[in-house]
Amino acid sequence: MIHNVNIPEMTYHHSKRCTVRQRRLAFTLVEMLVAMTVTLLMMAALARAFAFVGEQVRDSRANLGLSNDLRDLTTRLKDELSRCTVKLTPNMGEPDQPGYFLYSEGPVTDATSSLFRAALDAEGNIDLPDSRYGDFDDYIAFTAVAPPNSWFTGKVPRYVLDQKRAQLTGGSYTMPSPAIDAFEPVMIRSKYAEIIYFASPEYSGGSSSSGTTNAPNDPQYIDVDGDSTLAGGSGGQNGLPDRIKIHRRVLLIRPDLNLANGTLPVQQLAYGSGSDVVNFLQPDAWPTETASNLNPGVTTTDAWLYGMAGVHQQCDLSVRRVLNSTGGFTNRCAANSLTDLAQPHNRFAHVRVPAKVIAGSGTVDYPTSMPVVAFGSVATILESQTIGGSPTRLAPPRAFSAGTVVTPTLMSGFLRPEFVLGQDAIHKDSPNDVWGVERIGEDVLVNNALSFDVKIYDPEVVSFTTTNNLVVGPNDAGYREALIEAVSNTSQSVARGELRGGYVDIAYPVLAGGSLRGWQARRLDRLQGADSSAIGTASSYLVTPFSGVVNYTGTANNRDAYATSLYKSGRLVVNSGNISLFQPAFDTYTSRYETDGLPQGSLTGTNRGTLWALLSASNANTTDLGSNGIDDGGGTGVDDALESETLPPFTTAAESIEVSVRLINPSTRLMRQMSVIHSDTQ
């Protein structure tokens, strides 16, 4: 018998361990490390990307800032130069042009920082750590006319206007109470102005180069970012200023503000206990000022240098020191006209150097030099006797000596700080007025400048193509070597390339910091041990309209190497065979010195240059022989250049002037440069 038996369906059970993947609740250590690595790489990439973008934004903003600063400065300069009241033609006997144009060249050039700061690195390559610096000690000044409905503006003390108004109305002027109200600044306008552009460093209030703390007498610019191996100063200095600013002064031409006696009114402002006073619009006594009118420690016998600086702090007028009938100095000043400004001694910051300073000793004040700009000592990169290297390079002597002098330290540097607004450490400053340190920065155009370089177009200057196919001109550091190579090729009848014409520093062959580093026997940097070298036969290359050098054939007397016009202008003075004053400049100058009745005479023998003497019975009959209608030279012609007392420093008209400005952003180290060209055809 068969029974129905229910047999259950077989079920197969598989182990989960074997057939089903167990779900994990966390990452393994390896996976975590991989993920972290990828994340870090992504974050680093993002950080680098953001940093790159940030740097680009920062650099773009810095570049934009530099461009804006340069564009503002160059546009302003170009516009004002285009409205200069004179042509770039020196006055040579004809009536003076109304106003003036002046370009003064300092001894530092574009090549200085490369030539004097070159060094070898560990691999023997030439290192130029400071080549970013250019030519920063040039100076340009001129008179300009304002555009219609946009006249020049400036400030004067209120009492100047009130006292002039009282005189015009027939009344008398009484100082107000309180007296400080009379010195309140009042804004005035003028159609014409004297405009000055110059670079100036930041100065230290500490010890001077002579080791004293008398900073006002010997101002030293801040220089702490260099080293001591090639420096002109102590350890940590490279001889170059750390911070340079470019300044612009606008001085209104308002001769109508003079009183009936032809001078500006003088008033005194007492302050403190009343024993201290500030003399407004009154120059210091020449050449020595009373100590009570100056800050403690100031050398009173240097008033010939800083005597007008206080006046230039107290108003925005173009003013001059009034001369007496013999050509000596008074302690009154007057507002200039355009006609007055054609004569250099009436211009901003122009001084006449006493005889005892030119000679380096003595007590005699007259005859003085002709008017020159009140510059300070040369940049310290040019001051030291030796700079190092093999063979040793020689820099300019620091003081008067029997040896040959290349560039004297006297009057060859930046404009004296007393003439920069707010930086007059010489004269007392009342805390109650706004005419002292309160004006600091008013004349500043831009900060962080590396170069303010003025050049003149010389149609005959030579650039050479060297054997390695480089074109080298006078503005390049290798010009001396290229010149010697060209001379050698000439003697060997080897073909060479020459290009004529270019913008150069005026007197480029003889600038202490220039690419030629002195001229032959003037020992500055010699390729050979002897004073005469191959460069002695190259005079034909260097005798150009604005080189300041005449045909020089190798005589040991280097005084004969300079143009007569440089001597007659008084911007080059040689005392006992030594160059004691040298300020090469292009100046429209004046013909007035030939008819002013005052004796400006030339030195002879071992002394060269024109000096300004006091009129006396002994020289009255020999004054202004160049305009008396007689051939006093004996056969050379009536009233020719040989009979003239003075001449412009350079007698050739300038085709054009180039002004270049270089700025740096200190945080990004980006640099930009722009240039302006001015010519009479503009």
pLDDT band at 19; cut points 50, 70, 90: low
Could you report the per-residue pLDDT of 638-660, keeping only the tens digit for each? 666 667 889 999 999 999 999 99
Query: Are the C-beta atoms of 550 and 562 separated by less than 8 Å?
Result: yes
35 in a structural domain: no
Pairwise pLDDT comparison (515 vs 632), residue with the higher score: 515
- What domain range is 447 assigned to? 55-679
What's the rounded Cα separation, in Å, for the pair 624 and 644?
Answer: 7
Q: What is the DSSP string of 579-609?
A: EEEE--EEE---SGGGTSSS-EEE--TT-BS
4 in a structural domain: no
* Of 196-200, 432-436, 494-498, 502-506, minimum mean pLDDT range: 494-498
H-state helical runs in 287-348: 303-306, 309-313, 338-341
Residue whose C-alpha is closest to residue 577's, from 595, 558, 590, 553: 558
Pairwise pLDDT comparison (410 vs 543), residue with the higher score: 543
Pairwise pLDDT comparison (3 vs 370), residue with the higher score: 370
Q: What pLDDT is recorded for position 391?
A: 36
Answer whether residue 397 shows pLDDT above 50.
no
36 in a structural domain: no
Tokens of 579: 């160059």
Tokens of 45: 């990439």
Provide mean pLDDT across the span 1-26.
54
17 in a structural domain: no
H or E element at residue 51: helix 29-82
Burial of 32 (0-12, 13-18, 19+ CB in 10 A): exposed
8 in a structural domain: no
Answer whether residue 374 shows pLDDT above 80.
yes
Pairwise pLDDT comparison (406 vs 158), residue with the higher score: 158
Answer whether residue 209 shows pLDDT above 60.
no
Residue whose C-alpha is closest to residue 570's, from 396, 350, 340, 361: 350
pLDDT band at 518; cut points 50, 70, 90: very low
pLDDT band at 263; cut points 50, 70, 90: very high
What's the rounded Cα separation, in Å, for the pair 107 and 337?
Answer: 32
162 in a structural domain: yes
Answer whether residue 226 shows pLDDT above 60.
no
Pairwise pLDDT comparison (586 vs 532), residue with the higher score: 586
Can you give the pTM of this predicted structure?
A: 0.87
Could you report the per-residue pLDDT of 282-316, keeping only the tens digit for each? 999 999 999 988 988 899 999 999 999 999 999 99
CA angle 623/624/625 to nearest 5° reads 95
Pairwise pLDDT comparison (486 vs 390), residue with the higher score: 486
Other C-beta atoms lying within 10 Å of the C-beta of residue 31: 10
* Identity of the residue numbered 246: I
521 in a structural domain: yes
Those residues whose C-beta lies under 8 Å from the C-beta of residue 642, and which sit 6 or more positions away, are 633, 636
Query: Are the C-beta atoms of 606 and 587 separated by less than 8 Å?
Result: no
Give how many domains the chain has, as a whole number.
1
Residue whose C-alpha is closest to residue 600's, from 616, 613, 583: 613
Pairwise pLDDT comparison (242 vs 516), residue with the higher score: 242
What's the rounded Cα separation, in Å, for the pair 648 and 564?
Answer: 10
Tokens of 284: 């210091």
Provide mean pLDDT across the span 429-451.
92
40 in a structural domain: no
